[in-house]
Structure 1
């Protein structure tokens, strides 16, 4: 019977590699993407709806005070600028949300995100005419412009795209005046003039 043989490693063999240490997951320093739903906007629309529902007759019969100013843009001047016209015809909620941001948050659209609470709310079936007439009423009140609630409702229902474009242009023009910003893109063309003509 032979004696058991012992296996001896060769002196030049490399030692077995040590297992790699487990690393903790890397925390990203980038901020998490925020939701397009803003609590402030939700509360704004909720309060506005509650106010209308608590005093429907008063709202429907409301009109601008005597001496209210005229609108600087016409309802049917909706083909200029053409980009606003096209966007509003295809994706009206974007124009609605932009106008809401401009009149309630920042006249210069600072911090504006195209998809926002007002934009998403506008997509709810049956709400767009109500929201557009409320926005028109807000613009009349903020800039002291002439009109009535019944006119707001009729224009929002019968001329939906033209109404949204007018509200966008009017708010941009009024905010530019308030912030002393040049608003040439929304001014009407006065025609050509020849220098030195007698």
Structure 2
């Protein structure tokens, strides 16, 4: 397996020298992190709980805009969610579970308590509510969307620090 002879593609590439470390097979990324709140912690945030229960298409649209980092619209994704919900009688979980998977990938969150589609199939409101709370725990104001969140963060970074009165002579 480790021979001293170079293969044809190693001979032609001067960059592959002794300074290149061999692949070890160990993953570079760390283990997935737990969610900031549990799947059934809906009542810890009544605002997101009520929004998710009464207007799931709005809550989903807001989440999807942030997960897509502004490349899609809250209104468009919410409308697609509502259309799937009302036309199929409940198969919107196929659409929303894709965003849960995407969100887990972005923030390196663990898959649990079961697969993403099964979570959305069994308890869609709880899953959307958990995703909403996760984004809020990461500093997003989910109601204002991606672009307004970025503008808000940029304003906070651009503000000079407040200087307090120090000692006087």
Structure 1 position 165 matched with structure 2 position 125? no
User: Is structure 2 residue 86 aligned with structure 1 residue 122?
Assistant: no
- TM-score normalised to structure 2 length: 0.56
Which residue does 1:68 correspond to in 2?
A: 32
How many pairs align? 110
Deviation at 1:175, TM superposition (A): 4.6
Q: Judge conservation of contact 1:102–1:172 (CA < 8 Å) in 2.
A: no
CA contact (8 A) 1:139 1:171 kept: no
Corresponding residue number in structure 2 for 1:105 = 69
**Displacement over 4 Å in runs of 4+:** none
Give the TM-score of the pair, scaled to structure 1. Answer: 0.49
Q: Which segments of 5 or more consecutive residues in structure 1 lack a partner in the other structure?
A: 1-64, 107-111, 182-198
Between the aligned partners of 1:66 and 1:158, the Cα distance in structure 2 is 29
The alignment status of 1:77 with 2:41, answered yes or no, reads: yes
Q: Where do residues 128-143 of structure 1 align in structure 2 (5 Å cutoff)?
A: 128-143=92-107
Asked if the contact 1:143–1:174 (Cα under 8 Å) also holds between the matched residues in 2, the reply is no
Distance in 1 (alpha carbons) for counterparts of 2:62 and 2:77 = 9
Aligned partner of residue 58 in structure 2, secondary structure: helix
CA distances 1:53-100 after superposition (whole Å, capped 9, x unpaired): xxxxxxxxxxxx761111111101001221211121111001000001
Inter-partner Cα distance in structure 1 for 2:63 and 2:31: 25
Aligned to 1:184: none
Higher helix share: 2
Q: How many Å apart are 1:172 and its aligned residue?
A: 2.3
> How far apart are the structure 2 equivalents of 1:174 and 1:138?
16
Partner of 1:121, secondary structure, is helix
Distance 1:105 1:147 in 2: 21
